[in-house]
Structure 1
């Protein structure tokens, strides 16, 4: 099976229990990459802390093997002459919790990742081909190395909700 690539963006309203819906374009790819065995709509999404930025990374369970292979390669490339490697390579990227999403793309964002990313009542979803980033919109705008177009996307979606960033 060829993996679908995550492209698309959108804002989700997060309720007080942490429920949020994945935007449609991203949800379609997620469901195609990890179809439910019983053929029903919905599936599983893995949510964890991004290894560098103050946001979350989200992906289908099949991406875990790809991520592990990338980290194994990076670890091998950073092994010292005495055989020791940088243990933080995997530590920084290994967080993740698999949670179910329903046919409408709703899932409950796990508490620690939500806390880590500072996500309040809005979550900005952005497809980054292999995975999805989930940001607090204000944090994204305030992150210096984010591309201008991504910041503009978040500003646009928030303005559609009547909120200026």
Structure 2
């Protein structure tokens, strides 16, 4: 898809008891540019214990890619489980205010263990939201991401 800004930046944000959190300014600026409707789509990462967030334009791109893959598989006589692929794209939509505040859907928040803090990480076409504690305990090969989370936690005097 053309003319989309990419998500870059990191931040540790507090989460209130209702699951409200503010999207960091650099990520929110990208969302605003890509999706003036002030909406973010939220789903669980396919393999990591975190959330993945993106704008409606990226959702349309993913849908187009899925449709193309289904057509190509059919043309080549190859099996393609479109139902499973569509299931992987399930997302909840949340509206955010001018300050970037939105409520992380309860089901999604619970699935990845987000409680009092949320660590945001820009990841080009999407951004991730992690529970800092889950990230620190995760068996992933990304020491840089863990180091960044530690850095932002220390800056806010948050013990991990």
TM-score by length of 2: 0.88
CA deviation map 1:114-165 (0-9, x unaligned) = 0111101101111100001111011112222241111111111111221233
Partner of 1:4: 5
CA distance in 2, matches of 1:76, 1:117: 34
Per the alignment, residue 23 of structure 1 pairs with: 24
Tell me: CA distance 1:70–1:145, structure 2 relative to 1, closer, same or farther (3 Å): farther
Q: Post-superposition shift, 1:75?
A: 5.4
Q: Does 1:143 align with 2:135?
A: no
Match of 2:109 among 106, 114, 120: 114
1:134 matched to which residue of 2? Answer: 129
Alignment of 1:55 with 2:53, yes or no, is no
**C-alpha RMSD of the superposition:** 2.1
Across the two proteins, how many residue pairs are aligned to each other? 157
Q: Counterpart of 2:99?
A: 104
Bigger fraction of residues in helix? 2
Q: Distance in 2 between matches of 1:78 and 1:148?
A: 37
Q: Deviations over 1:39-98 (max 9, x none)?
A: xxxx1111111111111111111111112233445556777x87542343332x222111
1:90 to 71, 86, 89: 86
Map of 2:36 onto structure 1 = 35
